[in-house]
Amino acid sequence: MSPGSIGILGFGTHVPYWRLRGDTVAAALGKRGGRGSRAVAGSDEDTTTMAAEAARHAVRSAGGAERIDALWLATADPVYADKANATAVHAALGLPGRVHAADLAGSVRSGVAALLAGLHYPGATLVALSDRRNGPSGSPDEAGGGDAAAALVVGQASPDGPVPLLAEFLGCGSATAEFLDRWRRPGQPWPDSWEERFGERVYTSLAEESLDRALKASGLTAGDISRVAVTGPSARAVRSAGTRLARLGVPDGAFADDLTSRVGNTGTAHPGLLLASMLERAEPGDVLALAVLADGADTVVFRVTGAIAERTRVPSVEDGIARGRDSLSYADFLTWRGLIRRQQPRRPDPDRAVAPASARSETWKFGFAGSRCAECGTRHLPPQRVCLECGSRDRMTAEPLADTGGTIATYTVDHLAFSLAPPIVAAAVDLDGGGRFSCELTDLDPAELDVGTRVEMTFRLISTAGGIRNYFWKARPAREGTPS
C-alpha cells in the first residue's frame, strides 16, 4: 500500500427486520410458488432512517466521527425533494456543522456515483446508500426488490493514526450509455421497464467495457480478482454480465452471493451491501471487484489490507439477515407502502412536528443527546435545564446516548393509538449508566417482551403529518452483534 493511498476506512449496513416471502405474495395473489424473501422497511422506516442506521455502524467501524469531512446520501427513493435528506442523517449521527452533507438522489446509479465521488473527494467521506424498492403487485420487481442501506467511510488513512485502510482503492472503470431499461417519473410508486432482453444485451457489453477499464486502471488482470459482485436493477442483465465476466477470465469461484434470494435487490443500496458482505468474508490481500449495471456500468476494484482482521466489529450483513422475521403479510406490506388504505381507530391524526421546536431540539430529537448534571451527575432524557435530583439550573452537559443499551422497566401494548402497524408497543427503558427513556419499541414480537428485556436505540420515523416526517428514536430488542 503506497503512502497517501485511498480506500475504505469503515463500513456498516442496515437490513430491516421484516421479510416478505415470495410464497406469501404468491398465495395472496392466488398463485402457486414464489421463491426467496425480500427485506421490507418497517412502517417506521424510510430511506433516511435506514441510511442513518447503516451510517452509525460505519462511523463506529471507522473509529468515530472526528475524521468525517463529508456525508453523501444516495437513494432512488428520497423522502423529501428540494430539502436535503442527508442533513437528517448528519443530525442523527451528531456530526459537527463543518461536515458537508448532501444528497445524490433520483437514480439507482446515484449509489455507485456517491461511492466514486467519495473516493475522489479530499478528506474522509461517509457515503450512505439507501433504497426502498417497489413494483406492481405480483411483479418480479416487487417480490425481488428489497429495502436496505449500506454506508462506507472512504478516503485517506490517517498518516500515522488510528484509522487504517481496510481496503485500498485500486481503480475504477465506467461505461455510460443512454437507453431505456427501467424508468420512473417522480411521484410514481414503481418503475416501468422495457423488455429485459434489450437491456440484457446493452448491459453485458457495458459490463465488459467497464471491467476492462477498471483492470487497466488497477494494473490487474481478470484472473487476479478474488471476489466479484455484479448488481443492477435488471436481474437478467446481471446474470448475463456475470457469464461474460467469467468468460473474460474472472475465476469461477470468485462470484459472490448477491444476497437477492434473502434480502432482495435493494437497488441503490445494493452495491454497498455487496461490498460490505465481501469485506466481511475477505482475507488480507484479496482483490474485490464490484460491477454496478445501472444506466451504464461502473466497476471498482479494491485490495483488502491486513487491517481487515482487526477491524471494529459492527453488525454484519449476515447479522442483519439473521435477525429478520418473515411473517409479514402481503396486506401489511401494501399498507406500509401506502398502496392500500386500512381502517384506522377513531383517533385524531398525529400532530405535525413543527420546524422551530424541531430545530431547537436538534441534538435531542435527531442526535439523541441527553444531559448530565455537572453538580450531581444525574442523567436526563430529554435534556433538562433544571436537575431533577439537585435542582441545579443550567449546569448540564450534553451526552450522546444512541449507542447506550438499556433495560425495560415496564411496558405496554397500545391497541388504540394511531399506527400503520398496530399495536404500538412502548416502554420505560432504564439506560445503562443512568437515566430513563420512555419511548416506543420497534422490530419485535410483543410476546417476547418482559420487564428486564435488553434493548438498543434506533433512529425511526414516529409519524408523518402535514407532509412532515417526524423522526425520533425508538428502542428495539438488543441482538447479537450490537454493543452491550
Partner 1 sequence: MTSHGIKDQVAIVGMGCTRFGERWESSASDLLVDAASDAFASAGIERDTVDAYWLGTLNSGFSGMLLSTALKIDYRPVTRVENFCASGSEAFRNACYAVASGAYDIVMAVGVEKLKDSGYSGLTRANPPSDGTGTTLTAPARFSMLSPAYSAKYGVAREDFKRAMTRVAWKNHYNGARNERAQFRAEVPEEKIASAPPVAGDLGVFDCSGVADGAAAAVIVRAEDAHRYTDRPLYVKALSFTAGPGTGTYDPRYDYTTFAETVRAAGDAYAQAGITDPARDLSMAEVHDCFTPTELVIMEDLGLSERGAAWRDSLDNRFALDGELPVNPDGGLKSFGHPIGASGLRMLYECWLQLRDEAPSGRRIAPRGKRYGLTHNLGGGPGECVAFVSVVGAERG
CB of 71 to partner 1, least distance (A): 23
How is residue 33 written as a grid cell? 410458488
CB of 348 to partner 1, least distance (A): 5
> Of 6 and 91, which CB lies nearer to partner 1 in the complex structure?
91
**Antiparallel, parallel or unpaired: β 287-293 and 227-231:** parallel
Rounded-to-integer distance, Cα 187 and Cα 24, Å: 27
Rounded-to-integer distance, Cα 315 and Cα 483, Å: 9
CB of 192 to partner 1, least distance (A): 36
CB of 414 to partner 1, least distance (A): 4
**Antiparallel, parallel or unpaired: β 167-176 and 147-156:** unpaired
Rounded-to-integer distance, Cα 201 and Cα 244, Å: 11
CB of 90 to partner 1, least distance (A): 17
Task: For the chain, give the number of residues.
Answer: 484
> Of 357 and 447, which CB lies nearer to partner 1 in the complex structure?
357
How is residue 54 written as a grid cell? 447503516
> Of 28 and 478, which CB lies nearer to partner 1 in the complex structure?
478
> Of 64 and 433, which CB lies nearer to partner 1 in the complex structure?
433
CB of 471 to partner 1, least distance (A): 8
Amino acid identity, residue 141? D
Per-residue CA distances from 333 to 133, 417, 430, 454, 474 (Å): 12, 20, 32, 28, 21
CB of 289 to partner 1, least distance (A): 44
Q: What angle do CA 56, 449, 415 make, to 5 degrees?
A: 95
CB of 329 to partner 1, least distance (A): 20
> Of 351 and 445, which CB lies nearer to partner 1 in the complex structure?
351
> Of 306 and 423, which CB lies nearer to partner 1 in the complex structure?
423
Tracing cell 446493452 back to the chain, one arrives at 202
Q: Given the rule CB under 8 A, which residues bind partner 1?
A: 345-348, 350-354, 356-358, 360-361, 364-365, 380-382, 388, 409-418, 423-424, 426, 428, 430, 434-438, 440, 450-451, 462-463, 470-472
CB of 341 to partner 1, least distance (A): 18
Q: Are 371 and 397 in contact (CB under 8 A)?
A: yes
Peptide bond into 186 cis (omega under 30): no
Q: Report the DSSP beta bridge partners of residue 231.
A: 292
How is residue 325 written as a grid cell? 422475521
> Of 338 and 345, which CB lies nearer to partner 1 in the complex structure?
345
Amino acid identity, residue 202? V
CB of 166 to partner 1, least distance (A): 36
How is residue 266 written as a grid cell? 435493494
Please spell the DSSP secondary structure of 289-335, one letter per residue.
Answer: EEEEESSEEEEEEEEE-GGGGGPPP---HHHHHHT-B----HHHHHH
> Of 67 and 476, which CB lies nearer to partner 1 in the complex structure?
476
CB of 46 to partner 1, least distance (A): 15
> Of 227 and 365, which CB lies nearer to partner 1 in the complex structure?
365
Tracing cell 433512529 back to the chain, one arrives at 459
> Of 195 and 355, which CB lies nearer to partner 1 in the complex structure?
355
- Cβ neighbours of residue 366 closer than 8 Å, sequence gap 6 or more: 88, 91, 92, 94, 459, 471
> Of 395 and 436, which CB lies nearer to partner 1 in the complex structure?
436
State the number of CA atoms in the 13 A half-sphere of 158 facing the CB. 13
- Cβ neighbours of residue 216 closer than 8 Å, sequence gap 6 or more: 171, 173
